[in-house]
A and B are shown apart, each in its own frame.
Chain A
Amino acid sequence: MTALSFLAWRTLRRNPVRTALVILGLSVTGALLLDMTMLSGGLQASLGQLLSRLGFAIRVVPKGTLPFSGDAEIPDGDGLAAAIASRPGVTAAVPVLATNVYVRRGRATFASFAIGVPRGGTGVYGMLAGRDLPGRAAADPEGGGADIPIVVNENMVRLDGVHVGDAVVVSGAPSLGITGPSGALRARVTGVADFYVDLATQRSMALRTEDLRRVRAMAPGGASLILVRVSDPAQAGGIAAWIGAQEPRVDALTIGRFIARAGARLTYFNQFAVILSTLSLLVSFLLVTSIVTLSLGERLGEIAMLRALGMTRFRVGALVVLEGVVLSALSLPGAFALGLGLSGPLDAILRGAPGVPENLHFFTFGPGAATRTAAMLLVTGAAGGVYPAMVASRLGVAPTLHAEVQS
C-alpha cells in the first residue's frame, strides 16, 4: 500500500497545474454536494434542535394537524391535560389555546397571534424582560376593573412601540363597531418574551387562557395544543401511545413523529437536494474518470514498465483507483470551506420566503452531513478511477513497450 501511495502521489505531483485544476473542480462539485446534503433534512434537523431546546417531549394536537396549523381544537383539552399530568413520568402538561386577536394602542390597531396559557412560567415562551403572567386570575373576573396581564414579543416592541407597563386593548374584532360576540378587554403589558417560532414580522402575545376565551368569546375547555414535559425522554413513546389510546381525536406527537409529519410537507427541498446531489456526484465522477483516463494515456509506457518489473494487474488497477481517491481526498478541505461559505447566503435566500420562523434554518451542518459528503466524494473518486484502472490492468506489456520505443 505504501508503494502504491508513493506512486500515486508522484503521478499527481508530476503535473501540478492539472492536479490543482481537478482538485478545484472537485472542490466546487463537492461544495454543492455538501450544501445539498445539508439542505436535505436540514430544516427537519433545525426543527428538531429547536423542539429539543423547548423541553417538551410530546405535543398533543387535533388529529391530522400540526401545532397552530389551523383553528382545530382538542375538545376538553383542559381535562385531557389534567389526565396526562397525572400519569407517572409526566412532569407537566400545559394546554395552550391559540388564535388571532387585535391589539389597539392609541389610534393604531394591529393583528397579533395570541396564545393562552393557564399561568406564567410554563416554558411555552422565554421571558426576555419584565414579569411573566401571574399564576392566578385577576381580582375582577368580568374584566370590568383590573387590566388583564399580557406578555408581548419583540416584534411588537420594535414595530409598534409597545413597552412594558403600556396599556392596550385586546379585542376579537378589528373595530369596536364590529365586535360581534367577541369581547374587548383592557390589558397591561407585563413583560417581553421570545416566542421561539415567530415569523420575521409576526406580532405575538401571551395571556391567560381564561382571558383569551373572554376576548374571543370561546367556550371553556378546548385547547389548540397540549405540551407535555416528561422526566425521562425514553418514556415519551409510551406516554404518547397512552394518550393516543385515551383520546382517538388527537395525535400525540413525539419530537421524531413531529419532524416526520412536518418533513412530509418539505418534499420539494428533499427532492431538489437529491437531484442536485446526484448531478454533482455525476460531474465529480466524469471529472475524475476523464482526467485519470487522459493522464493514463500519457504514461502507458510507465505502466507497462511497472508490469514488466513484476507489478500485478490488480496492483496496477489499484494504483489508478487510488489516484482517483487521492484527488477526491485532496478536494475535501476546499469542498468543505466553499460549501460552508455558500450555505450561509443560500440559507439567507430561502429564509426570505414568507412563513419561515426566525429560528429555523434550511442548511444545517453536522457530523452526519460531513461524514456523508466525505464518504460520497471518496467513493465517487474511487468509482471514477475504475474505468482507467481496467484499461491499465489490461494493458499488453510487450506491445506497449514496443510502441513507446518506436514513438
Chain B
Amino acid sequence: MRRNRRWAVCWLAATVTAALAAAPGLAAHRGPEPPSLALTDRSARLLGVRQGDVIEVARTAAGPWRAFRVAEVYRPAEYPTEISRTRVDLRLHLADLEALDGAGDNVDSVVVRVRAGTRPTDVAARLNTLPLGFRAYTSDEVAAQGSSTFEVIARFHRAISVVTLLASSVFLLTIMTLRGEEMRRHVGVMRLVGISRRSVAASLLLIAAGVALAGSLAGVGLGYALSAAINLYYRRLFDTPLVFSVITWPVLAETVGLSVLIGLAAGAATAWRLLRRPAREQLGR
C-alpha cells in the first residue's frame, strides 16, 4: 500500500529531470512569483539546481507543468529505510500539492500530538473505533513497523553467524586433533613420569583456549578492518553520515567469550581422545 504515499515524488526521477533537460525556459521564467518548495541536498545535487532556482513539476509526464521556486535546500534526518532511494525528494505546501494532484482534500497521513499525561495507546484505540476506514498507530508502533526489515536482516545475520561458528568449531577441533597427535609421545612421557591426567588435560585445555583466544583477537582486528571498509564504502555509496557497522563492547565480549568456550570444548575433546589410551600405547609400545 506504499503506492498511495509520497505520490508526489514517485515520478520525479524521470519527469523533473526531463523538465530540467529542457532548462532554458526555466532559467528565463517570467510571470507571477511561483510557489515555493524545498529540496533535499541530494536531490538538488541530482537535479543540478540551487536555492532560488525555478523548476517545473507535474503530476504526470504529460503535464500540466507548474513552476516552483526552490526556497530551501536542506539536509534531512537520515533514516536507514530510505538511504537506498535515489529518486528526487521534494517538499511542497499541502495546498500546492493538492492543486498539483487535482484530487482535492486528501492526505496520506495525519500526525497527532497528544496532551501531556495522555496515553497515546488510548488515543489510538479511540480513533480506531471510528468507522472511517483509517488506522491509527502510536509512534512506537510506527517505529516497530519501520524497523521490521532490519530485524529480519539481524535475524539473518544471527543465523549466518551460527553457521560460521559451526565452521570455526570444526576447524579448531581439527587443528587440536592434529596438535594432540603431535603431542602423543610427549603426553605419554608426562604420564610415565607421574604427571596426573588432570594436569595433562589442563595443559591441553590451556593450549586450546590460547589458540582460540589468539585466533579471536586476530578476528577482532580483521573485524575492525572490515567494519571500517564497510562504513567507508556504504557511506560513499549512499552519500550519508549513517554508520552501517558498529563493533560494540558486548559484541566483542560475546565473540571472544564464544571463541574461548569453543577452544575449551575442542581442547576437552582432544584431551579425552589422548588420555583414554594407556601411557605405554601413547609411546608406541
Instruction: Name A's B-contacting residues (CB within 8 A).
Output: 15, 17-18, 21-22, 24-25, 28-29, 31-32, 35, 62-65, 68-73, 75-76, 98-100, 102, 104, 107, 109-111, 113, 173-175, 177-178, 180-182, 202, 217, 222, 249, 265, 267-268, 275-276, 279-280, 283, 286-287, 290-291, 294-295, 298, 342, 345-346, 349-350, 352-355
Contact = CB atoms under 8 A, between A and B. Distances in A.
A65 B14 contact: yes
B132 A181 contact: no
A337 to B, nearest CB: 14
A70 B3 contact: yes
A17 B177 contact: yes
Given A73-B61, A181-B103, 15 more contacts: A18-B174, A21-B170, A64-B13, A65-B14, A100-B4, A104-B133, A109-B132, A175-B131, A182-B103, A249-B62, A291-B178, A294-B178, A298-B181, A352-B152, A354-B148
A71 B11 contact: yes
Nearest to A174: B133
Interface residues of B, number: 50
Given A32-B164, A283-B171, A349-B152, A72 B133 contact: no
A358 to B, nearest CB: 15
Contact of A71 (B10, B148, B163, B237): B10
Contacts of A75: 60-62
A287 B82 CA distance: 41
30 contacts: A18-B178, A18-B181, A21-B170, A21-B173, A21-B177, A25-B167, A32-B167, A69-B10, A71-B4, A72-B61, A73-B61, A76-B62, A100-B1, A110-B133, A111-B1, A113-B3, A178-B105, A178-B106, A202-B1, A222-B62, A267-B84, A276-B160, A279-B164, A283-B167, A287-B171, A287-B174, A294-B182, A349-B155, A352-B155, A353-B148
A298 B182 CA distance: 9
B170 A25 contact: yes
B156 A173 contact: no
A222 B174 contact: no
Nearest to B155: A349
Given A18-B174, A100-B1, A175-B132, A70 B167 contact: no
Nearest to A266: B84
B43 to A, nearest CB: 14
Contacts of B163: 28, 31-32, 35, 342
B156 to A, nearest CB: 5
A174 B14 CA distance: 30
A102 B148 contact: no
Nearest to A73: B60
Interface in B55-70: 60-62
A180 B105 contact: yes
Contact of A68 (B3, B132, B155, B174): B3
Which of B3, B15, B145 has the most CB atoms of chain A within a 10 A radius of its CB? B3
B224 interface: no
A181 B102 CA distance: 9
A111 B1 CA distance: 8
Contacts of A181: 102-104
Contact of B145 (A35, A111, A298, A354): A354
A18 B4 CA distance: 61
B106 A175 contact: no
Determine the main DSSP class of B at the interface with A. Answer: helix
B14 A100 contact: no
Given A64-B14, A73-B60, A21 B174 contact: yes
Interface in B179-209: 181-182
B149 interface: yes
Nearest to B152: A353
A295 B226 CA distance: 32
A111 B109 CA distance: 14
A62 B170 contact: no
B81 to A, nearest CB: 10
Given A173-B106, A290-B175, A178 B132 contact: yes
A350 to B, nearest CB: 6
A395 B159 CA distance: 45
Contacts of B132: 109, 174-175, 177-178
Contacts of B171: 25, 283, 286-287
B149 A353 contact: yes
B133 A109 contact: yes
A249 B156 contact: no
Contact of A72 (B60, B84, B170): B60
B134 interface: yes
Contacts of A174: 132-134
Nearest to B84: A265
A113 B2 CA distance: 10
Contacts of A298: 181
Which of B10, B14, B181, B226 has the most CB atoms of chain A within a 10 A radius of its CB? B14
Contacts of B148: 353-354
Interface in B1-35: 1-4, 7, 10-11, 13-15, 17-18
Nearest to B170: A25
